[in-house]
Chains A and B, each alone.
Chain A
Amino acid sequence: MIELPPRLRVPDEVVARDLAGEALLVHLGTGTYYGLDATGTRIWQLLAEHGAREKVVALMLQEFDVPEAQLRRDLDALVAQLLEKGLLAAGK
């Protein structure tokens, strides 16, 4: 597992469309697109707003009844995929 950056940002070239609670992310520089389910969409919204993974974990634990270890696994897996596709980038 690669080490994930603690802070993240949405690159300028990425746009998100919210379609009835599910998001589609599109990279305007490569045409890459990626669909998120409702939970993934909420994670995306929080990442876009706050940038810090730990902050997102804390807010998600308040909103969802989910074991923290499972949440961290799911969050890290999603972040790794979005980083790989250029739909997220390391923040400052």
Chain B
Amino acid sequence: MNQPMPANHYRVCGLQLASAIPFPELRALPDAGGSAAADIEFTSSKIPAPLQRGALVMTTEQADGTPWLVCTRTDAGYRFDFPGYADFFADRSGRRVTCTAHADTPPETVRHLFLDQVLPLLHNLRGGEALHASAVRVGGGICAFIGKSGQGKSTLAAAFQQAGNAAVCDDCLVLHAEAGGVRAEAAYPGLRLWEDSRDMLFGDAAGGHSLVSHYSAKLRIPTQELPEGEPGLLPLLGVYSLRREEGSPLQAPALERLSMRDALMELIEYAFRLDLADRDMILRQLTLFERIARAVPVRRLRMPDAMAALPAARDLVLRDLDHD
């Protein structure tokens, strides 16, 4: 009874989202056709879904080893528990999601957890594939940057944008196999940047950006501040796996070709995957990523640990894509 009806409609991860709470991070759909047309319904509740013993599906940890996300599967659905912050429960189809947030968790943190952590995994549950990647526009296509946290994916995307290649996303790049190849789009347009990257992108006059969440110093850059608007679905041109080499004698960025086998392993490593017991998903993902590894360059981009190397990295990638 305490669940307001979803009245806000958005497009995210290529899906239509109907939400009981507004998501200012997303562009509203003006003619959404009501909740019946929605792929995902998001509501919030003060009463958590009944606890059931479930099979552990995945866990991630914080730097100090404490649990960050604990995901379990029951007959009823999937529970995404962020201990101390919020709990999200999705039915087995991934269509209905209910969030129960802790009293002291701010709304922006709830939205961030759903948009950037839960939604890419729900998209995978619903049969979609996505890479944990930053991405930029190059010509008529999209170039993706994958790599572990802290390797500089968002900062490199910001450097591309500063030089005229629009940043598309900084966390989740949705992939679609089509007859002519593989196309990609942002889960939702926008960037999340550390302050130094923001200053590099927007200059000294930058300011007023809100924090992504209360537990991180990353700033959310509103989409209306990004040029070119909705990036849309475009051909995937290449994937670059970043390795920041701290303390290495590397003076300039360097590209390494990967064998197709290594390329495929790299893509799998940075894919959003919810349930590793879901063999259909694993096979589906393997088929798509093999197609990408065969069709577009997948390289390792070795980066010196210096902001000054970013323009050279951009030049290197553009030359590799034959867009210099």
Residues on A lying within 8 angstroms of B by beta carbon are 13, 15, 17, 19-20, 22-24, 26, 28-31, 33, 35-36
> Counting CB contacts under 8 A, is B308 at the interface?
no
Q: How far is the CA of A28 from the CA of B283 in the complex (A)?
A: 7
Q: How far is the CA of A59 from the CA of B283 in the complex (A)?
A: 32
> Counting CB contacts under 8 A, is B293 at the interface?
yes
Chain A at the B interface: SS class: strand
B279 to chain A minimum Cβ distance, whole angstroms, is: 4
Closest B residue to A37 using CB positions: B261
> Counting CB contacts under 8 A, is B91 at the interface?
no
Contact status B259-A19, CB under 8 Å: yes
Number of interface residues of B (CB under 8 A): 17
Closest B residue to A31 using CB positions: B276
Please name 27 pairs of A and B residues whose Cβ atoms are closer than 8 Å in the assembled complex, sorted by A.
A13-B279, A15-B283, A15-B286, A17-B286, A17-B290, A19-B259, A19-B261, A19-B264, A19-B290, A19-B294, A20-B260, A20-B261, A22-B259, A22-B260, A22-B261, A23-B261, A24-B265, A26-B282, A28-B279, A28-B283, A29-B277, A29-B279, A30-B276, A31-B273, A35-B261, A35-B262, A36-B261
Residues on B lying within 8 angstroms of A by beta carbon are 259-262, 264-265, 268, 273, 276-277, 279, 282-283, 286, 290, 293-294
Q: Which chain A residues border B290 with CB–CB below 8 Å?
A: 17, 19
Q: Which chain A residues border B273 with CB–CB below 8 Å?
A: 31
Closest B residue to A20 using CB positions: B260
Q: Which chain A residues border B277 with CB–CB below 8 Å?
A: 29-30
Q: How far is the CA of A31 from the CA of B283 in the complex (A)?
A: 9
Contact status B265-A33, CB under 8 Å: yes
Q: How far is the CA of A19 from the CA of B259 in the complex (A)?
A: 8
Contact status A35-B265, CB under 8 Å: yes
Contacts A19-B259, A30-B276; A24 near B264 (Cβ below 8 A): yes
Q: Which chain B residues border A13 with CB–CB below 8 Å?
A: 279
Contact status A24-B283, CB under 8 Å: no
Q: How far is the CA of A31 from the CA of B286 in the complex (A)?
A: 10
B124 to chain A minimum Cβ distance, whole angstroms, is: 12
A17, A20, A29, most chain B CB atoms within 10 A: A17
Q: How far is the CA of A36 from the CA of B286 in the complex (A)?
A: 16
Q: Which chain A residues border B294 with CB–CB below 8 Å?
A: 19
